[in-house]
Chain A
Amino acid sequence: MSATTTKQAIATNRLLPLAAIAALMSIGAAQAAAPGITGPTFNLVATPAYISQPDGQTVYSWGYGCSAAPSGFAPMPKGANLPNASCSSMQIPGPTLIVTEGQTVTVNLTNKLPNAAGNTSILFPGFTLTNPCNGAGVQGLLTCEAPPNGTITYTFVASSPGTRAYYSGTQGDLQVEMGLYGAIIVLPNNVPAVCTAGLPVTAPGNNAAAQTNWGESDFRLAASAYDHPKTCYDREYLFQFSEMDPNVHSQALAQVTACSAPGAPNGCHLNVPTEPYHPAYFMINGRSMPDDMDPNYAMQYPHQPYNGNPHMHPGELTLLRIIGQGRWQHPFHEHGNHVRILARDGNLILSQTDNSSLAGPLLFTTTTTPGLAMDGIFYWTGKGLNWDAYGHNPKSGDGLAKLPCTPDANGYNTGAPTAVNFWEWCQDHNKPMQAAPFGDVPAGGPVTLPDPNLFANGPWYGGSPYLGPDATVRAVGPTGTTPPSGTIANSPTGEAGFAFMWHSHNEREITTNNIFPGGMLMMMLVDSREFVIDESN
């Protein structure tokens, strides 16, 4: 490690979230969804460009992009595209291809990589190509390849729903490392009626009623992940994990430059060593933290349009579409709850004795594996905390502090879609946490919180132990707990969500080229119902 890098590492390490704070302040809260382009015909191109990393580096990379405007973008909340939705000629990950089960998909791929890079191609694991190698195509070892400046066509039927990876099938150790990968989402053709009616099952449609009440839009691509009633969901996110060894990229650039220089020999081609492999950048959707929490299609990342910034309300079933795109496995740890794995590579995992029952494991760490895609369902309700997360205080004079909680058959307050405490776990209703609280929250609980002078807090601290701006302001006032050093990304009066870190638990991967924090890390926020989650910004 060079001396310069060393200095940078120590400074950032000790002054921890400054970079993160600065980035967040300039952008404001941003949410995620699973954006992509619709088909069923896709005109893709493989192109070189520079991508940006939060340590200030730009890295020479190759990616798939759109050779022409796509037929459409998804999702389209309120019938309109997400702001700034675009598909440039190169992006990492490649455009997320969104199709519907049963459609015949056509992908036209043009090779605009440097001549010295040779052929390129796309593999679609899980689908069977229905057309022969065509056009300028050259049959490669694994699939039909496009020579420099040539265009080829892949045709296949999107035979079954689910999330899958696509990636280069030509010299993959280099081309995938350089960024030639993406995701394909096949939406189910027969969304079960129970999913269409809406969740929760105890009060169908009430989540939609809550969205309407608070003016939220629906950012889902569909109401279910598969043609199966156990796969209904309320919200969804796509996370693609990959890592980069900057030495491979600088070698590739040097050789491309040399091969295109005057006097370079004919047939000059790349010979970039891909071992020993020593990655320094660890990315989710092509971005490292904190960039991954900036909006989708943010202007400052023209070649990294997709973010990773999940938000959800209590009780919402959140579909996670997770893909390993690099060379390494990464143990992706979801704080807050377990994830029920629905499927691997688009194959639903059902009980061998009862195909109405799921059989995938429950994981708090979802291992991403190269080439493997998985779908899972996550939710958070606060069930069993043994204290009222909303800080309801039956002795208060404030009506919002005295909301009722009427348990449904599962114990949740799902009958009140317009209430702040929709989906509250009623067994803990009015239960105090603090023995002698300062504010308008219940007293007589088990713990005494420390003097605020004795602790530090962070930018995603909501300002109090309680969930939501109403409870937080009642508990500690509008500035949150002193010192209000943090709370910038999760304001006590605006959001005051419960923030959970979702990150690689091979912890050295939550760094960006030796700088902590960075890498494969994002914050997931559970927001009480009054906060409007707008995934379009």
Chain B
Amino acid sequence: MTYTRCWIFLGILSAFAAPAFGQSFRVQCPTSTITHPDTTPTQLVNSSEPAYTKPTYPASSTDYTTGNTGGAVNGAIKCQQISGGDGYASMGDGTQTYMFSFGPLSGLPDIAAGGPGTVAPTTFNTPYPVNASASNALPPGYPDVMPATGAVDYHGAIGLANETPHIETVYDASESGQLVTIVLNTVVPFAVGDQVIISGVGPGYDSRIVSNAAVPWTVTKVGVPNPFFNVAQGTPNGASYAFQYTAIAAGLAEVAQPASGTAADVSKVTGHVDARQAMDVGVMNGNIPAPLMAIDEDDEFFLTLTNVGMIMRPDLFEQHTVHFHGYPNASAFYDGVPDASVAINIGGSFTYYYLAPDAGTYFWHCHITPPEHLQMGMVGQLYVRPRQNRWSGDLYTGLNTQQGDLRTACSSATDILCSNPLPAVQTGASNTGVLKYAYNDGDGSTYYDVEYPLQMHAFDPNFHFVGMTFNPEGFADMKDKYFMLNGRSYPDTVTSGPLQTPSVDGVNHFSQPLPSIISIPAGKRALLRISELNVSEYHTLASLGIPMQVIGYNAKLLRDQAGNNLYYTTNSITLGGGESLDVILDTCAVRPTVTTSTGTPGTGPDYTKCTTAITAGTYYLYTPNLDHLSNDAENFGGQMTEVRVTPN
């Protein structure tokens, strides 16, 4: 096979190609895509999750590029921005530990409240409030200084800036019927559909004034042959100097060379990020765990990583990446492995794109020099919520509906890697579109009332000190001495709210947003989404008192190919680096039998109701690796937290 032909073609093509290169910091969060079209002008349709009622692709199509054919648009668009850099965290013994780390650059108030920084396009694309008097303006020093109580806070992409508008002078304006042709003194910088404000040209041309605000015209055509600038007059392609729009009324006068006539486009968001704000907020603002991400099945997820550099290690010109750990059928390009893909340099942004994979508890981390960057703290949590949450009606019917699209189907007969075939037992459990499940189980067995991400990790303080002080780290000698749940050691695990840590600049930065207090109203079920990201050994986590029901492992439902649930109950789980596991802590002793959506008795317990709850009180999660119940030299602390069962 020869490629010469292709390459010649490319050479020709490149003469016309104008790739959108050149912006270093840039976020990407479209309001519509092929998969999530938006025919309404509101640009809000993809910012909320629609109910799931039927498959996207109920049958094979000959052309999938025109949007869905015959099915429903499912899911939404979700966006998030994170920084890659460094920061400090507080250990249980009061020590400040240096980290290579990710920090939040979107959804900051949500992160500070212990939630995900994943937001909808309508939120993400809100321009950053640079005007100090704006209602959602951020106080100087944000995020370390939070807005006053009651003030509107900013949840969008930090630094997102309006493009500077183009303002061009007008050479001539004329009207034919209602069609106005404006000729500029330069090549028209607008595109069809752009909103343009005309001023200083004359009555009828100047943009309509409504309530003291100029209402722009919408450009209908660009490239209009005209008698002023054309080839004959020595202006190549002179048509590119003119554009058209439709005026309200006919009969406007011809206007030639108005003294102060201008045409300006309306300032808009294109993803350009102002480096000042991105650096102001992003530098030395690392979190452990790294910002939480949460998406729903069928979502398109745009994650922008902005590399702000590591202030404490100016000798390093490190790239960072995001590896979506456990994503089935990942692409190498977005897999985050620098050896097999690309990695963003300091001063640049890279947007990772995935259609949400099957529901489950995943996690993410940097994949640059993993023994170093993971030990240093570049590890975060990520989960995908199931389609079943958005379904109303019998759950078995809902799962069966998902069999109608080959992408969402699970057939044991033809796919050895699918984990949630139709359940062997039809329980009759149903959802009303508001109940939450860990997986598309079809039988209601993964129902939960409250969920807690729980990241197991460990730091070797010597490695971190060596990493901060420009020295090479040894790997074989790595010896972890801080053992953490969500980046905190006991007793910090039971401190509510985000933790702050003073940095080298003497300023407190949010460092550990997630407490690890497992609070469960008596009688309810808690889903623990546990991930293990330490880099040196296996860790065990035990539950004192409340049994752990393991329902998922490595982001897959525990179910055999014949549909039998393989859940097991235990009081301890053991994980090595790079594993995840889903545990239900059930605080109900006796449950009623489930009632079907038609009101008849179903099979098995109703996990949404409780007849007799267990005793309220404080229970514990702790590690039976007893040397891990320590904070470096303190022989008290480590990987331990409280399960608080509150009276209901």
Cβ contacts B369-383/A at 8 Å (1 or 0 each): 111101100000000
Contact B342 A511 (CB under 8 A): no
Cβ contacts A76-98/B at 8 Å (1 or 0 each): 00000000000000000000000
Contact B370 A507 (CB under 8 A): yes
B6 within 8 A of partner (CB):
yes
B579 within 8 A of partner (CB):
yes
Tell me which residues across on chain B come within 8 A of A397, comparing CB atoms: 9
Contact A357 B34 (CB under 8 A): no
A336-B330 contact, Cβ under 8 Å, with A278-B476, A354-B562, A511-B475 = yes
Kindly specify which of A151-159, A266-274, A434-442 makes contact with the partner chain: A434-442
Nearest-neighbour CB distance to chain B for A222, whole angstroms, equals 17
Cα A447 to Cα B415 with chains together (Å): 30
Contact A499 B369 (CB under 8 A): no
Nearest-neighbour CB distance to chain A for B133, whole angstroms, equals 34
Which of A358, A361, A407, A460 counts the most B-chain CB atoms under 10 A from its CB? A361
Nearest-neighbour CB distance to chain A for B121, whole angstroms, equals 12
B348 within 8 A of partner (CB):
yes
In the complex, the chain B residue whose C-beta lies closest to that of A11 is B472
B147 within 8 A of partner (CB):
no
Contact A445 B34 (CB under 8 A): yes
Kindly specify which of A25-33, A167-175, A299-307, A378-386 makes contact with the partner chain: A378-386
Contact B342 A461 (CB under 8 A): yes
B268 within 8 A of partner (CB):
no
Tell me which residues across on chain A come within 8 A of B22, comparing CB atoms: 451
Query: Contact partner of A353 among B1, B370, B372, B562, CB < 8 A?
Result: B562
Cα A384 to Cα B297 with chains together (Å): 11
Nearest-neighbour CB distance to chain A for B496, whole angstroms, equals 31
Tell me which residues across on chain B come within 8 A of A505, comparing CB atoms: 535, 576-579
B398 within 8 A of partner (CB):
no
A60 within 8 A of partner (CB):
no
Tell me which residues across on chain A come within 8 A of B370, comparing CB atoms: 503, 507, 510
Query: Contact partner of B414 among A201, A333, A459, A503, CB < 8 A?
Result: A201
Chain A, range 467-515, C-beta contacts under 8 Å to B:
469-470, 473-474, 477-478, 481, 486, 490, 493, 497-501, 503-508, 510-511, 513-514
Chain B, range 573-593, C-beta contacts under 8 Å to A:
576-579
Kindly specify which of A36-44, A63-71, A140-148, A424-432 makes contact with the partner chain: A424-432
In the complex, the chain A residue whose C-beta lies closest to that of B352 is A447
Interface residues on A, range: 35 or more
Contact B536 A508 (CB under 8 A): yes
Contact A386 B60 (CB under 8 A): no
Cα A438 to Cα B13 with chains together (Å): 8
Contact A447 B17 (CB under 8 A): no
Cα A365 to Cα B30 with chains together (Å): 34
Query: Contact partner of A473 among B6, B302, B329, CB < 8 A?
Result: B6
A230-B416 contact, Cβ under 8 Å, with A351-B564, A465-B333, A506-B577 = yes
Contact A444 B34 (CB under 8 A): yes
Contact B65 A442 (CB under 8 A): yes
Contact A411 B35 (CB under 8 A): no
A254 within 8 A of partner (CB):
no
Which of A448, A470, A499 counts the most B-chain CB atoms under 10 A from its CB? A448
Contact A440 B10 (CB under 8 A): yes
In the complex, the chain B residue whose C-beta lies closest to that of A6 is B472
Chain B, range 1-55, C-beta contacts under 8 Å to A:
1, 3, 5-7, 9-10, 13-14, 17-24, 26, 28, 30, 33-35
Tell me which residues across on chain A come within 8 A of B536, comparing CB atoms: 506, 508
Chain A, range 240-286, C-beta contacts under 8 Å to B:
278-280
Cα A5 to Cα B342 with chains together (Å): 30
Contact B331 A382 (CB under 8 A): yes
Contact B329 A382 (CB under 8 A): yes
Contact A516 B475 (CB under 8 A): yes
Contact B30 A507 (CB under 8 A): no
In the complex, the chain A residue whose C-beta lies closest to that of B349 is A450
A455-B348 contact, Cβ under 8 Å, with A317-B416, A361-B556, A501-B340 = yes
Tell me which residues across on chain B come within 8 A of A358, comparing CB atoms: 412, 416, 560-561
Contact A331 B60 (CB under 8 A): no
Tell me which residues across on chain B come within 8 A of A377, comparing CB atoms: 416-417
Query: Contact partner of A338 among B28, B477, B556, CB < 8 A?
Result: B556
B64 within 8 A of partner (CB):
yes
Nearest-neighbour CB distance to chain A for B368, whole angstroms, equals 9
Cα A196 to Cα B578 with chains together (Å): 36
Query: Contact partner of A10 among B337, B357, B472, B579, CB < 8 A?
Result: B472
Cβ contacts A18-30/B at 8 Å (1 or 0 each): 0010000000000
Contact A381 B329 (CB under 8 A): yes
Contact A331 B576 (CB under 8 A): yes
Residue ranges of B at the interface with A (Cβ–Cβ < 8 Å): 1, 3, 5-7, 9-10, 13-14, 17-24, 26, 28, 30, 33-35, 57, 60-61, 63-65, 300, 302, 316, 319, 323, 325-326, 328-335, 337-345, 347-351, 353-355, 357, 367, 369-372, 374-375, 406-407, 411-412, 414-417, 419, 424, 471-478, 534-538, 553-556, 558, 560-562, 564, 566, 576-579
By Cβ-Cβ distance, the 8 closest A-B pairs, closest first, are A505-B578, A10-B472, A331-B576, A499-B340, A454-B348, A359-B560, A357-B561, A411-B406
Contacts A386-B35, A481-B342 aside, 12 further interface pairs with beta carbons under 8 A come to A352-B560, A367-B576, A377-B416, A383-B328, A385-B331, A410-B411, A410-B414, A427-B61, A446-B28, A454-B347, A506-B576, A506-B577
6 A-B pairs with CB atoms under 8 Å apart are A1-B477, A17-B339, A462-B332, A473-B7, A501-B337, A506-B577
